[in-house]
Amino acid sequence: MAYPIVPAAYGLKPVSLSGGRVFAGSTRLIPISYNYGYNLFNGDVVAISGGTLAVTALGAASSVSSGAGAIGVFVGAQYVNSMSQTVRAQFYAANTATNGGAYGPNSQQGYVVDDPFAVFQSAVLTQGTSSVSNTPGATVGYVNPSFIGSNMYLVTQGSNGGSASGNINTGDSAMGLTGGVITSGTQGNTRITTSAPFRVVSVVPDTAVTVTAISGNATSSSATLTITAANSAIQPGMQLIIPSVSGAYAGQFLTVTNVNGTTLTLSTTVSVPAGSSLTFIGYPEVQVQWNFGYHNYLNATGA
């Protein structure tokens, strides 16, 4: 098990800009409407609607289009209290009413990382076996370097988007990212190349998880593999490395696409002798950036 462990989703955190450029922490203040009724957590993807911030319409559903209002990632709030004092907060708590006092009616604002070329780090969440229109689980899952260049959906974990996706004690988001559905068996992730809000630009090696197993029956030119004992730690999305087997070398990114008991489905046909030592590596965090057409600044439709 890697350290540090990633126990749960934490939203999207800006780490750099595309092309490896440094993120300098720049944000834009965008108004929040008077007494807005939903929480906005630090790390939430947010939208703009009528000139004010709102929970995002994006989610883990193939039917969710760009939603021209997607504006960036929320990283804090400020407002003027009844004593005309400026308060800065980790998150915006629903129904925080303020008329701005002497500062005017637009003093309630959110800090948003609105750069459409920002790169964000986020936890990967598991994807189930049914349609992506169903919200995936909140369990942390895994991908591997073969996912670089593929797309991911946003997981909001709440019927009202960001309003249900966070911790009111810490102010942190509980949003995460997820890949495609699997066919059967345990939850996990598969690569998707169809349209989705975020493009994977890298995986995070610092928190990678390693699991070992032993192959059972020998396979001959097959995309399935039997292991000697079921192991719930092995999930779709993990990379399988078998040093002695062609097609399963470290740099070939042979991927587990389904786990059903002791039977694993693989992304590529391989032949694995019985008794072979198997190493599975999963990455619970990815770095992503906006796909063209999903961010308000890269969408010709206004909000």
- What are the pLDDT digits (tens) for 247-270? 899 999 999 999 999 999 999 999
Domains annotated on the chain, with CATH = 7-204+287-303 (no CATH), 209-282 (2.40.30)
pLDDT reported for residue 159: 42
Residue pair 147/220 in contact (Cβ under 8 Å)? The answer is no
Q: CA nearest 187: which of 255, 245, 259?
A: 259
Distance CA 237, CA 190 (A): 6
Instruction: Please enumerate in sequence order all residues whose Cβ is within 8 A of that of 104, keeping only pairs 6 or more positions apart, or say none.
Output: none
Q: Which of 123-132, 155-164, 279-288 has the lowest mean pLDDT?
A: 155-164
> Does 41 have pLDDT greater than 70?
yes
Of 59-73, 78-92, 159-173, 221-235, give the range with the top mean pLDDT: 221-235
Chain segment 10-31, per-residue pLDDT in tens: 999 999 999 999 999 999 999 9
DSSP per residue, 248-279: -SGGG--BEEEEETTEEEEEEEE---TT-EEE
Q: Closest Cα to residue 138, out of 159, 123, 153?
A: 123
Q: How far is CA 171 from the centre of its chain?
A: 18
What is the pLDDT at residue 133? 53
Per-residue pLDDT tens over the stretch 95-140? 887 665 545 556 789 999 999 999 999 999 998 887 655 556 678 9
Question: Between the ranges 93-97, 103-107, 215-219, 274-278, where is the mean pLDDT highest?
Answer: 274-278
